[in-house]
Amino acid sequence: MSDEPLLSVTDLEKHYPITEGLLRRQTGTVRAVDGVSFDVARGESVGLVGESGCGKSTTALSVLRLEEPTGGAVRFDGEDVLNYDDEELRRFRRRAQLVLQDPDSAFNPRQTVGEAIEEPLRIHGLPNPERRRHVVEDTIEHVGLPADAADGYPHEFSGGERQRLALARALVLNPDLLIADEPVSALDGRTKSGVLELLARVQSRFDVAIVLISHDVDLVRRFCDRVAVMYLGRVVERGAVEDVLTNPAHPYTQSLVEAVPSLDPTAVASSPALRTDELPDATDLPDGCRFHPRCPAVIQPEGIDLPHEEWLGVTALRFRLANEWGDEADRRELLENGSTPSRETTDPSFETALRNAFDLPESDSTAESTLETAINALESGSLEAARRQLADGFASPCEEISPAELEVRVDGESATDATTRLVACHHYNDDISSGESSAPAENHSSK
């Protein structure tokens, strides 16, 4: 394995403009991929994991230049992919291939499978039809199907067989890099492991580097050497699979790993649930750390030191007010639902209801005075004033500063130089999280 990685992606950006009208005036931007970096060494498999909509697939398409990236750099085998001329791009298209998720649409229904697998050879100019046919049949046998499958039409094959054939089409040019975008998520259990096994065999035998894009943490754990966890267009954590997925450092990775159902019914969740399952609007992403509206470990600002639950309650109230406070209806609902714990109180005041609903503190004096003013403002109907009050008093550094990738070493892990773990979270930046006692993982275990 040479020093230089086969594929090196640095600060990759893909922004889609939102335009309006005939003159295409730009009214907004979707930051589908916004500063993604990762490396892939020769023959290695790297997992790109994250929720749907986090930009995994766009990253793949941008790396392959099926979508033109709007920023960043992609280096393939030491060459700058984004500055390829036509001839170099053509050579790149021989060496980097893509396998798609949906085996139903992967093949042109009007072509035989053989014609489809032969197509890369024909496009890249292999003139001899007999030789093409020979290569095609050979490749089909490599993926575990009989050679005469070449004469069948796509609809005559099952989903798993089609995915094998799609793999054959990707391999027929003998690529160095294979990007597999959710290659097995459309398949059922047994077919899935069959295709995965094939992928692993192909990788080891032909020394192909594989980028496996998946939302399935378990799949990445089983298949990949290294992993990059993506959230809303950014990589939040990357490193060796056994480090990142067994001992996640970023709160998002923790929740992602936690979301995999355990076979042990007595297992207790070790990290708290996300505050909301709702993803922010793609056209209006949160400032600072993109994960902060959902993060269970938002850092408290300097001068505030509330117990964890109460701090989460305060932030929850704040985000609720900032985003979707529907005035009267919300207020009434709050009075009805929020007051249930204190039913004995005959006349539940707005303040008690609010405090109950959001689990708000009464301890810390600085926090309390700010909170009190905000609640009073809200009660008197001044939403703006309440928002401002809370924003001034409880603004977390997570909302203001975008976290940079930092090298993190957790005790007892097998990190070597080759598998440095990088995490983009303020908890690991001592300048910012100085008020906090420790990393989020410890934070949770202590409660």
Ranges within 256-315 binding another protein (CB under 8 A): none
For 144-148, the CB contacts below 8 A with 24+ separation are: 144/194, 144/198
For 5, the token pair is: 């990685």
Q: Find the shortest distance in angstroms from Cβ 283 to another protein.
A: 20
Whether 81 contacts 74, CB under 8 Å = yes
Q: Find the shortest distance in angstroms from Cβ 241 to another protein.
A: 7
Q: Select from 7, 40, 49, 106 the one that contacts another protein (CB under 8 A).
A: 106
Whether 103 contacts 48, CB under 8 Å = no
Q: Find the shortest distance in angstroms from Cβ 106 to another protein.
A: 4
Q: Find the shortest distance in angstroms from Cβ 291 to another protein.
A: 26
Q: Find the shortest distance in angstroms from Cβ 126 to another protein.
A: 6
- Which residues partner with 47 through β-bridges? 212, 227
Q: Find the shortest distance in angstroms from Cβ 153 to another protein.
A: 5
Helix or strand (DSSP H, E) at 351: helix 350-358
Task: Tell me the one-letter amino acid at 327.
Answer: D
For 220, the token pair is: 């990445």
Q: Select from 14, 31, 56, 142 the one that contacts another protein (CB under 8 A).
A: 142
| Rounded CA separation 307/364 (Å) | 9
Q: Cβ closer to another protein: 38 or 358?
A: 38
Q: Cβ closer to another protein: 149 or 374?
A: 149
The answer to whether residue 73 forms part of the interface with another protein (CB under 8 A) is: no
| Rounded CA separation 323/445 (Å) | 31
Q: Select from 200, 282, 322, 395 the one that contacts another protein (CB under 8 A).
A: 200
Please tell me the count of residues contacting another protein according to CB under 8 A: 72
Site residues for another protein, 408-437, by CB under 8 A, read 414, 418-419
Non-local CB neighbours of 433 within 8 Å, separated by 6+ positions: 299, 397, 426, 427
The answer to whether residue 91 forms part of the interface with another protein (CB under 8 A) is: yes
Q: Cβ closer to another protein: 165 or 357?
A: 165
Site residues for another protein, 214-243, by CB under 8 A, read 221-225, 240-242
Q: Is 37 exposed, middle or buried (0-12, 13-18, 19+ CB in 10 A)?
A: middle
Give Cα separations from 239 to 21, 174, 265, 276, 416 (angstroms).
Answer: 45, 28, 29, 27, 10
Q: Cβ closer to another protein: 44 or 405?
A: 44
The answer to whether residue 41 forms part of the interface with another protein (CB under 8 A) is: yes
Q: Cβ closer to another protein: 141 or 407?
A: 141
Site residues for another protein, 356-415, by CB under 8 A, read 414
Q: Cβ closer to another protein: 155 or 343?
A: 155
Q: Is 352 exposed, middle or buried (0-12, 13-18, 19+ CB in 10 A)?
A: middle
The answer to whether residue 190 forms part of the interface with another protein (CB under 8 A) is: no
State whether the Cα torsion 363-444-37-218 is positive or negative: negative
Q: Find the shortest distance in angstroms from Cβ 142 to another protein.
A: 7
Stretch that binds another protein, among 28-36, 198-206, 292-300, 402-410 (CB under 8 A): 198-206
| Rounded CA separation 184/197 (Å) | 11
The answer to whether residue 134 forms part of the interface with another protein (CB under 8 A) is: yes
End-to-end CA distance of the chain: 45
The answer to whether residue 139 forms part of the interface with another protein (CB under 8 A) is: yes
Q: What is the DSSP letter of 4?
A: S
Q: Select from 2, 26, 109, 411 the one that contacts another protein (CB under 8 A).
A: 109
For 427, the token pair is: 């908890």
Three-state secondary structure call for residue 295: coil
Whether 179 contacts 60, CB under 8 Å = yes
The answer to whether residue 169 forms part of the interface with another protein (CB under 8 A) is: yes
Name the CA radius of gyration of the chain, rounded: 26
Q: Select from 36, 49, 113, 196 the one that contacts another protein (CB under 8 A).
A: 196
Q: Find the shortest distance in angstroms from Cβ 357 to another protein.
A: 44
Whether 12 contacts 178, CB under 8 Å = no
Whether 254 contacts 246, CB under 8 Å = no
Q: Select from 13, 39, 88, 119 the one that contacts another protein (CB under 8 A).
A: 119
Q: Cβ closer to another protein: 179 or 386?
A: 179
Stretch that binds another protein, among 74-82, 84-92, 320-328, 389-397 (CB under 8 A): 84-92
Q: Find the shortest distance in angstroms from Cβ 52 to another protein.
A: 16
Give Cα separations from 346 to 331, 338, 343 (angstroms).
Answer: 18, 14, 7
Q: Find the shortest distance in angstroms from Cβ 412 to another protein.
A: 15
The answer to whether residue 46 forms part of the interface with another protein (CB under 8 A) is: no
Q: Select from 107, 157, 358, 394 the one that contacts another protein (CB under 8 A).
A: 107
